């Protein structure tokens, strides 16, 4: 049994409103950072799993992303396994 580390990044799909990103963008411009043209927020999960078969780790992370970490209606996710 090996411990495998992975990262799941969750983003809003294109076209989904991101009010938090909009607020951060407005705040940055008010602070004088007028060269910022767009801010989109997302979520990040650093996950460690006990993998019988490290080659399956990507599938394991995809499964928990689909089931719990991301809302597939409005979000997409990207899984990365660290060697």
Contact between 14 and a copy of itself by CB under 8 A: the answer reads: no
Contact between 22 and a copy of itself by CB under 8 A: the answer reads: no
Compute the radius of gyration of the chain from its Cα atoms: 16
Candidate list 13, 16, 26, 48; residue touching a copy of itself; CB under 8 A: 48
| Token pair listed for 48 | 């460690």
List Cα–Cα distances, 71 to 26, 27, 64, 65, 76, in angstroms: 26, 27, 11, 9, 8
Contact between 27 and a copy of itself by CB under 8 A: the answer reads: yes
The position carrying tokens 């970490």 is: 69
Contact between 16 and a copy of itself by CB under 8 A: the answer reads: no
Residues forming contacts to a copy of itself in the complex (CB under 8 A) are 3, 9-11, 21, 24, 27-28, 31, 33, 35-51, 60, 63-64, 67-69
């Amino acid at each position: 049994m090996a411990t495998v580390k992975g990262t799941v990044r969750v983003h809003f799909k294109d076209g989904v409103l991101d009010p938090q990103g909009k607020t951060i963008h407005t705040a940055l411009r008010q602070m004088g950072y007028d060269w910022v043209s767009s801010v989109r927020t997302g979520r990040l999960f650093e996950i460690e799993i006990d993998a019988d078969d490290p080659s399956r780790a990507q599938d394991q992370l995809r499964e928990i992303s689909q089931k719990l970490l991301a809302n597939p209606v409005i979000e997409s996710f990207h899984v990365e396994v660290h060697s």
